[in-house]
Structure 1
Amino acid sequence: RMKDDYMQNGQLKPGYNLQASTNNQFITNYTLAQTTADTTTLKNHLQDHVDSYDQTPQSLTADAGYGSEENYT
């Protein structure tokens, strides 16, 4: 659910969660998800990268929003 707008009418608004991967400051992959939490987007985002480049990233750096036991595994 997105933040309420100035009309305060409580309507649901469409929202998308954009994930982007970079390498040397170049965007190498991006995905869109219809979820509010980053924890549920990481696994699919990484799989999309593997499908596109046929290799796994050498390293992964993400903020605490991606922190979950499944993502750490």
Structure 2
Amino acid sequence: MSSQHQVHYLLVNAHHTVADGWSLGVFLNELISFYKANVKGENVQLIDLPIQYADFAIGKNSKAAQHEASFPYHIGKNN
């Protein structure tokens, strides 16, 4: 008696600075979409994300620059 069933494992290892909860959710949803499309022999149609990483990074850099610019003000007030 033989079986045609095969077992496959996927191990994903990512540092917490690269994969937060939101990112893992996006990753898993896209992985599921790719798998389902592959099983059906179709092309995957992913939805566009509301924000891209480059936009996020620009926003973070802008906030950091604003924060750093406020240091002299706070230092002068505390002396």
Per the normalisation by structure 1, the TM-score is: 0.29
Task: Give the number of the structure with larger relative contact order, counting CA–CA contacts within 8 Å between residues 6 or more apart.
Answer: 1
Bigger strand share: 1
Per the normalisation by structure 2, the TM-score is: 0.28
Bigger helix share: 2
